[in-house]
Amino acid sequence: MTPGLPSSLLFLCSVWLVFAPFALHYGFPTLSAAVDTNDVTVAVVAGMLAFARMVAPRDLPWLSLVNAALGAWLMVATFVLDYSAARHPGLAMANDLVVGAALLVLGTISATATYRQRSAERHRTAVASRP
């Protein structure tokens, strides 16, 4: 698997996360609710990092690890932030848990794939350079 595929899926998850509060009608009284702000902020940052990895999938694998950490935060945030103001708090929490898990898994897969490719290339180069 190339590192670009999980990064592409991660980018799609972040696009969904931007629109989820509106598409799923979380129903927070104001757009400045902590959960809405958290979702949009995580989505924008994760989307930019995923896009960078899509453009250059063999470079900067640590960006995928940052995305994995953002996914972990999104999952933890469901227990830290106040979802009770939403009309559908269960829906908002479930969405953040699922998308957070996806970010965590896809970010880890993307970084791992890059590190494995680099290791395999170093090994091939070392073997080829032997007399």
**Is pTM beyond 0.75 here?**
yes
Higher pLDDT, 59 or 105: 105
Q: Residue 59: give the domain boundaries.
A: 4-128
Percent pLDDT > 90 in the chain is 44
Counted domains in the chain: 1
Confidence of residue 86 (pLDDT cuts 50, 70, 90): confident
What secondary structure, in 3-state letters, does the chain show?
CCCHHHHHHHHHHHHHHHHHHHHCCCCCCCCCCHHHHHHHHHHHHHHHHHHHHHHCCCCCCHHHHHHHHHHHHHHHHHHHCCCCCCCCHHHHHHHHHHHHHHHHHHHHHHHHHHHHHHHHHHHHHHHHCCC
